[in-house]
Structure 1
Amino acid sequence: MFIRQKFRTKNGKRHAYWALVESYRTERGPRQRVVSWLGKLDEEGRLGVGQLASETKFPFVSDPIKGQVQLSLLEEPKPRYVKVNAKAVRVENCRQFGAPWIALKLIEKLNLKSLFDRLIPAGREAVPWSSTVLLLLIARFCEPSSELYIAEQWLPKTALPTLLGVPQERVDDNRLYRGLDQLLPHKDAIEMHLKERLGELFEIEFDLLLYDVTSTFFEGQAAANPKAQRGYSRDKRSDCKQVCIGLVVTRCGMPLGYKVFSGNTADVTTVEEIVETMESRYGTAGRLWVMDRGMVSEDNIQFLRDGGRRYIIGTPKSMLRKFEAELLKKDWNSVRDGLEVKLCRRDDLGKGELFVVCRSADRRRKDEAILRRSEEKIETRLKTMTTRCTKQKRDVQKVEREIGKLLGQNTRASRLFEVQVKERDSGGAEIIWSKVKNNTDWATLSAGCYLLRTNVQDWSDEELWKAYTQLSEAEAAFRIHKTDLQLRPIWHQKEDRVDAHLLVCFLSYVMWKTLGGFCEQAGLGSEPRRVVDELSEIRSMDVVLPTQEGIEIRQACIAHPSEHQTILLERLGLDLPKRIRQTEM
């Protein structure tokens, strides 16, 4: 560091001021920045500050990725002793530090920064695109919102510009949108990198792949996106266009890859494409695919067989009826309290396949409660409609439509009733209805039961059931995407921007699961929500120390963590820096 004279013209006169300046290195060469404005100094003051600046040395770190030496962002400066006016000490620029810092640590653990630097090399832009992408990921992880909110509201309240070395005034919503455009072309390379890195960090086995599909809806017409279509909405927003997302995760829930489909795509039609995509990247050896009953079709099963692939798949409820005799037998294998399974072979239904009949007490109570509510709704409504038709001459077709709507809204119990609408001799509709005993008995017998089919011959019924239940990891992934990371709704209208938005959400979920994995290794459970909420309370601030010489010393400090925060950091093996030195690009 050194002092430099600066000049300013005021009221037609030229005034001289002194500033404390330091040099630093960037990707485009050395730069200089003002550390502190010193005002007017006499010769003695200049000599004192100059001597102090020459004696103050800052540590340097070697960056093996870029092959050059850069200034360290986080550092422990050597003690400096000056006379301070204690009454005038103040704190400024209190900002969020904990959550962005944790997110940046996760990015470093995943080697994403070096990956982005390699995939998106810096050019002449003021803010490197790799830093823009990191900003998008961290914002999605910490406080998901629109690009406009991130640039104008969230970013100025955080220490992220300092951590990334990004000038805050150079970040706006347009730059963030263009950052999405820079990220999207590298989707496949990023997924392959993450597969290898996650395997190294957590010793993940990729033998069991779980596949499920969800949907997310748009706000707006999304006319420029051909994938935005109306279809079956898992979000109960059939009034909006949507896209479907197929996600592949490992048995521990770590995401392996995903694919975006048109909103009107049926789940069953996505299987071949996603399986071939994953196999083209990661090979076919030792893969066991687990899918729910929405993916089942004879064509898909034949496709899996022809490729020599192993699978465990749920089956439609209608297929369970063919195992009615097995449900009545007593030879069940108890896996745990309230859960029983049974292994069956039926060559007439599938050659070389095994079927696992499962019966859950908890699921039985749930099914019976849902069925009972639907049954009561239908029965009460039918009684009311029958009485009304007796007292009034109602149109037959109108009554038929009302009954059709009633049964359609209560599909669980619709098969328990047989309903006919006839026209009376005196005119008007007459409703004749009754309960179907066989269907009622079957509903009672099959409550809480479900059926699996597989071509895995060397596993027990318990092992097959446990593998299938891992699908809950894929469901949990969608739940976190839609709640914590706010995947929905989508406000982007163009196809590429939508795909890039989904990629940012996917990468943020990888960071989420990575933190969850570290928490599990540290004995903190596998749910990182509490950890993020607790550490996000840590703040950074500028402590301003006015000296007796009239010079203000500004130190960017980090609040001392609480006892609980200290324990979390120790368990996670993280060292919170005490100070952070402001960095400019």
Structure 2
Amino acid sequence: MRILATGRICPDCPQVCIGLVTSREGLPVAFEVFDGNRTDVTTTEEMVLIMERKYGKANRIWVMDRGMISEKNIEFMQKRGARYLVGTPRSMLRKFEQELLGKDWEAVHPGVEVKICASPEGKDETFVLCRSEGRKDKEMALLNRFVAHLQTGLNKLKEQAEQGRLRDRQKADRRIGRLLERNSRAASLFDVIVTEIGAGKDRRLAVDIKKSEERYQWALQSGGSYILRTNWKEADPKTIWKRYIQLTEVEDAFRTEKHDLGIRPIYHQRQDRTQAHILVCFLSLAMWRTLQQWMKASGLGTAPRKLIEEMRDVKSLDVLLPAKDKTIRLRAVSTPSKELKVLLQRMKIFLPNRSKII
């Protein structure tokens, strides 16, 4: 199970892949442990079968991001009669170019608009085109930064070729490859052609750089846009979008596991101990999310870490008093501060006012 996870986050470290299923409120329902070199998309069918075997074919909707989905997975879920709501690859935006430029958008959130679209293949599916101003600003800022870096690097290489300081064709190709790799977000916007001119001592390299304005304009038009795909018979795009956005609860659950609950690194070498470590973290996550829901219902936000830090001031002490027949155990609890007392009252937690024999 702990095997070399080639091509994933840490290629040189043994890893495990964890599949986590949560409710739409973010409460953990189930988890499964996979080999570390499994890509996310290969775990979808297995997770669906595991959930159906454990809990039956309930009237559930499988909400997954685009990293979990392939056409094979979609076909698998359709054959099982499962409902799904999934993200799609960015390349699919090309099929909805006219809808992107059109009107009839519906605001679902400040800065976010959606539009219902029919399936381009005529299938019994619904596509929801979404665009976010905040997401577009972020994407374009990143793109422009990479464009500037790539253009500067390519111009420098071209200048060196013109001055005769760069004559080796293979070296030039390698440098161009590294530049495109480092600035991959902007790589598709440029066409770079290297040719050899002259002969003998007069041999030079000519570097032709062309930036595709058509592709850049498409990046501007489609920036901040994404498409949701579903077979859920729901006509309101706002409802579909809100259900998909609940995936942020799953992402938050993974962040909590990684940072607050310390699921990694896993130092164990044996499979049973690795699984036990993950189980303890899963149970901790269930308690953490329950505390979040408790705090939310009490109007205290959703940051358990702050509450736990405040609760550290509460101490419990057991005093053993020898008596004739037996030893008496007396439990005393420290008096909380005024601020903490208010928090506890909001959560309807009442500490004992006096020592108690247990």
* TM-score normalised by length of structure 1: 0.57
Alignment partners' CA distance in 2, 1:228 and 1:375? 38
Determine whether 1:276 maps to 2:49: yes
Q: Report the equivalent of 1:264.
A: 37
Deviations 1:375-416 (A, max 9, x none): 111011111111122221432112211211221222211111
Q: Report the equivalent of 1:473.
A: 249
Give 1:291's aligned amino acid.
M
Most deviating of 386-395 and 248-257: 386-395
Say if 1:231 and 1:241, in contact at 8 Å, map to a contact too.
no
Alignment partners' CA distance in 1, 2:355 and 2:191? 75
Determine whether 1:430 maps to 2:206: yes
Query: Structure 1 residues 429, 320: CA separation in 2 closer, same or farther (over 3 Å shift)?
Result: same
Q: Report the equivalent of 2:24.
A: 251
Q: Report the equivalent of 1:379.
A: 151
Determine whether 1:334 maps to 2:110: no
Q: Report the equivalent of 1:495.
A: 271
How far does residue 347 in structure 1 lie from its aligned partner after superposition?
A: 4.5
Say if 2:20 and 2:31, in contact at 8 Å, map to a contact too.
yes
Determine whether 1:286 maps to 2:59: yes
Give 2:129's aligned amino acid.
V
Query: Structure 1 residues 436, 373: CA separation in 2 closer, same or farther (over 3 Å shift)?
Result: same
How far does residue 463 in structure 1 lie from its aligned partner after superposition?
A: 0.7
* TM-score normalised by length of structure 2: 0.91
Deviations 1:3-55 (A, max 9, x none): xxxxxxxxxxxxxxxxxxxxxxxxxxxxxxxxxxxxxxxxxxxxxxxxxxxxx
Query: Structure 1 residues 456, 283: CA separation in 2 closer, same or farther (over 3 Å shift)?
Result: same
Give 1:489's aligned amino acid.
P
Give 1:293's aligned amino acid.
R
Higher-Rg structure is: 1
Query: Structure 1 residues 262, 429: CA separation in 2 closer, same or farther (over 3 Å shift)?
Result: farther
Query: Structure 1 residues 302, 544: CA separation in 2 closer, same or farther (over 3 Å shift)?
Result: closer
Query: Structure 1 residues 368, 580: CA separation in 2 closer, same or farther (over 3 Å shift)?
Result: farther
Say if 1:558 and 1:580, in contact at 8 Å, map to a contact too.
no
Alignment partners' CA distance in 1, 2:318 and 2:61? 55
Say if 2:329 and 2:357, in contact at 8 Å, map to a contact too.
no
Alignment partners' CA distance in 2, 1:480 and 1:581? 38
Structure 2 unpaired stretches of 5+: 322-327
Write out aligned runs for 1:96-107 (5 A): none
Determine whether 1:388 maps to 2:130: no
Deviations 1:321-358 (A, max 9, x none): 1111111101111113211100000251x510111000
Alignment partners' CA distance in 2, 1:261 and 1:303? 20
1:570 aligned residue (320, 345, 356) = 345
Q: Report the equivalent of 1:440.
A: 216
Write out aligned runs for 1:140-179 (5 A): none
Most deviating of 392-401 and 335-344: 392-401
Alignment partners' CA distance in 1, 2:356 and 2:183? 61
Pick 1 or 2: higher relative contact order, CA cutoff 8 A, min separation 6: 1
- Give aligned-pair identity as a percent: 46
Alignment partners' CA distance in 2, 1:568 and 1:473? 25
CA RMSD of aligned residues (A): 2.1
Deviations 1:46-84 (A, max 9, x none): xxxxxxxxxxxxxxxxxxxxxxxxxxxxxxxxxxxxxxx
Say if 2:166 and 2:172, in contact at 8 Å, map to a contact too.
no
How far does residue 428 in structure 1 lie from its aligned partner after superposition?
A: 4.5
Alignment partners' CA distance in 2, 1:490 and 1:375? 39
Q: Report the equivalent of 1:461.
A: 237
Query: Structure 1 residues 542, 260: CA separation in 2 closer, same or farther (over 3 Å shift)?
Result: closer
Say if 1:347 and 1:353, in contact at 8 Å, map to a contact too.
no
Alignment partners' CA distance in 1, 2:12 and 2:207? 34
